[in-house]
Amino acid sequence: MIELSGLRRHFGATRAVDDVSFGVAEGHVFGYIGPNGAGKTTSMRILATLDLPDDGDALIDGFSVVNDPDRVRLRLGFMPDFLVTYPNVNVREYLDFFARAYRLRGHVRARAVQRVMEFTGLDVLADKPTDALSKGMKQRLSLGRALVHDPAVLVLDEPAAGLDPRARIELREMIRALARRGKTILISSHILTELAEMCDTVGILEQGRLLAVGTVDEIQGKHHVTPRRGVAVEVLDGADRLAAWLTGRDGVAELEVEGNTVRFVHGGDRQDEAALLRVIVEAGFGVVSFTPRRQSLEDVFMKVTEGRVQ
């Protein structure tokens, strides 16, 4: 549904987007991550037909952003990283205006506005002036605006920025619900743990170049990120004994004891973790919990990017 090929956009000497190619299949959520200035917004604006590439192209549902921008706009909803609001326009009027811009008429338009207000939970604020909305409610309005013409593809530029924890979780649930309905979603963020929960695939961008694409596991494999996994084992008692028992076992390192919990990292995989849990229990330790900690997207991000700025 989304296909970038050789996309390039330079501003003078700045290579904001430098030969970026990747695709997102229908119903998938793609996480676009990269440090400030990496080129996320620039490439998303090109997808949303707000800017043109210097070279390369991008297809939305098979239509070129360069040659067929009108068809692209009908199929794509863009949530920019800021929302312009107006003092004398309330939530319903605001959404209605954009529904008109998409040429929705009569009952169809009224239903579209109502559907979007219900989905985003803005129906209770329908009469509130848009400039009086909180940050979280503005983000909902921005998402609602992107959804009003029921596009198949959504491009969301840092939708979670500036939201409190509850608003973030609610936004995440909305994005998951949209993915379940078959929407194809490209989402940029700095909140990596959250992206990892929402996205099937991620792309890591730095200085306009796509450094890595794939699932977090694939990227780890390709970039030889040390595949160490952490585990926390909580026992009824005898944490020190367990630590001593674990010392010197194959691949176990960085052992530490805190209260009844023993933490360590190891070089094995899930099978090894299952086997390890079994032998710990068989050795007579009263295991209360055994919690693996996968290497996080943050670890991968720090390994793949180098902190270069331009």
**Shortest spacing between CB 147 and Mg ion, in angstroms:** 21
What is the rounded CA–CA span in Å between residue 26 and residue 1?
Answer: 5
Give the H/E segment covering residue 303.
helix 297-304
What's the Cα-to-Cα distance from 287 to each of 195, 254, 278, rounded to whole Å?
32, 20, 10
Nearest to 281 by CA among 290, 270, 292, 269: 290
Placement of tokens 């000497």 in the chain: 13
Could you tell me which residues come within 8 angstroms of residue 240 by beta carbon, excluding any fewer than 6 positions away? 257
Q: According to the binding rule CB under 6 A, does residue 36 interact with ligand ATP?
A: yes
| Interacting residue with ligand ATP among 3, 8, 14, 265 (CB under 6 A) | 14
CB-nearer residue toward Mg ion: 40 or 145:
40
CB-nearer residue toward ligand ATP: 34 or 203:
34
Residue 299: count other Cβ atoms within 10 Å of its Cβ: 16
What is the rounded CA–CA span in Å between residue 299 and residue 94?
Answer: 41
Site string for Mg ion, 34-53 (x = CB under 5 A): ------xx------------
Q: Are the C-beta atoms of residues 31 and 24 closer than 8 Å to each other? A: no
Number of residues located near Mg ion, criterion CB under 5 A = 2
Number of residues located near ligand ATP, criterion CB under 6 A = 12
**Shortest spacing between CB 36 and ligand ATP, in angstroms:** 3
Q: According to the binding rule CB under 6 A, does residue 42 interact with ligand ATP?
A: yes
Q: Which stretch binds Mg ion (CB under 5 A): 32-40, 121-129, 261-269, 278-286?
A: 32-40
Taking CB within 5 to 8 Å according to partner kind, which of Mg ion, ligand ATP, none is near residue 82?
none
Residue 255: count other Cβ atoms within 10 Å of its Cβ: 16
Taking CB within 5 to 8 Å according to partner kind, which of Mg ion, ligand ATP, none is near residue 147?
none
CB-nearer residue toward ligand ATP: 189 or 295:
189
Interface residues with ligand ATP (CB under 6 A)?
11, 14, 16, 34, 36-42, 310
Interface residues with Mg ion (CB under 5 A)?
40-41
